[in-house]
Amino acid sequence: MERKSIDEENRRKPSGAAVMRTDLTHALVRAFFEDWAVYGYGGISLERVATRAGAGKAAIYRRWPSKLAMASDAIEELGLKLTDVSARGSLIEELEGYLLMMRRALRHRLVRRILPDIYAEAARKSELVVALKRLAEARRAAGSAIIERAIARGELNANVDIEMALDMIPSALYWRMIVTNRSMTRAQIQRQATALNAAMKFL
């Protein structure tokens, strides 16, 4: 006898699979960054991370199989903060938007403390190297998009040295805010964008 469609609709769905709480996932990632900021990547304790988030260690392993997997996801989340650049009307406007986005990220107390350790891990060629390479590629892709739009608008020559431009764009801001620990005003951001706009025409 053919089963009726109503029987299909009334069939009970299998249960028992735990639903991942998004708020707990965010709390765990934040706790991971907190621990990283204090102890460095090498000193991170997943047990301590779980305690900071008000959860058990099992909550971490339900989401990530290892510290490296959790770090990779956390770095990807950080990358989203460092690559969110929308198209605007001109190169100088987009440079200003990019620098303001970076300033917003670099003002975050955890980002400020973690970034130097991230670059130290990259220099040591640690297990994070793959995740850090993706972060660098995402950031440079966002910068490349700015340059390509400027070329399309006729603001830059098609043969502009894109790699040098990508090195120039964030360097002064990073140096000022992270290396020398000084603030950056919006007026200073605007002046930096103006200087970059002029310099990139000679690359």
Lowest mean pLDDT among 21-25, 74-78, 98-102: 74-78
Structural contact between residues 37 and 19, judged by C-beta atoms closer than 8 angstroms: no
How far apart are the C-alpha atoms of 136 and 185, rounded to whole Å? 25
* pLDDT tens column, 80-138: 666 666 778 899 999 999 899 889 888 888 888 888 888 888 788 778 888 888 878 87
Structural contact between residues 55 and 28, judged by C-beta atoms closer than 8 angstroms: yes
Q: Is 130 exposed, middle or buried (0-12, 13-18, 19+ CB in 10 A)?
A: exposed
Determine if the pTM surpasses 0.75: no
128 CB neighbour count, 10 Å cutoff: 20
How far apart are the C-alpha atoms of 109 and 105, rounded to whole Å? 9
Which pair of tokens denotes residue 94? Answer: 């987009």
Residue 12 has pLDDT above 80, yes or no: no
* pLDDT tens column, 176-192: 988 898 989 999 999 99
